[in-house]
Amino acid sequence: MDTVLWSRPEDQRAGTPLLLMLHGYGSDEARMAAMFEDMPRGFSCAAPRAPRDIAGDRGWFLLDYFLVNDFAEVLGAATSVLAWLDTVMAKYAFTSVSLLGFSQGMAMATTLMRLRPEQFSVGVGLSGFVLHNELLGAMEPLAARIPFLWARDTADMVINPDATAFTADWLAANTELSNARYAGLGHKIGADELSDVSSFLTGHVAGSFVPRG
């Protein structure tokens, strides 16, 4: 991946837990980087730029309201992220890898989990969805069920009801699921939500908590 924003300078990353933060469709890595300060301070946070150009913004793969996608494109994007992850793991020896994805970024995060269920310690999905894919589904439920926080507004109209229903079933079958609901949030990320995400990560990832001061 050509562009990745980091919360820490390079010489401070080794031996820390990694939080990989994946942006949504029609957004970019700066949206995730804006949340670095809200995450537990022990993490090295990394926000990569998705590969597809979306009218000047970025996306992980092309999709429409019904979340129709070309799985070859999805797999290509996921493989690219995993190859990059292998490189940075070898370089920095991160103690663990956690995932956070917003909207389409949650679809990408859970796809990474499905491809390498043993790689990730914790997952967070914000206002997002899980891809319905028969090839991946044939190998499920996942052997490694990691803690996963699914945070959203139940009235969010961006993610269609069928996708929401599938996501709920998939997360229940494949993760140690915690739910968080925020009335009136819409398809956005809120301050209370970020506080809850930080608490969830701190409670599940060793080394993520560092007192502020």
Each residue's pLDDT tens digit, 91-147: 999 999 999 999 999 999 999 999 999 999 999 999 999 999 888 898 899 988 999
For the entire predicted model, the pTM comes to 0.96
In whole numbers, what is the pLDDT of the chain averaged over residues?
94
Ranges assigned E (strand) in 57-127: 57-59, 97-102, 122-126
Residue 108: other Cβ atoms inside 10 A: 28
Assign 89 to helix, strand or coil.
helix
| β-pairing verdict for 97-102 and 18-22 | parallel
Q: What is the domain class of 4-204 according to CATH?
A: alpha beta
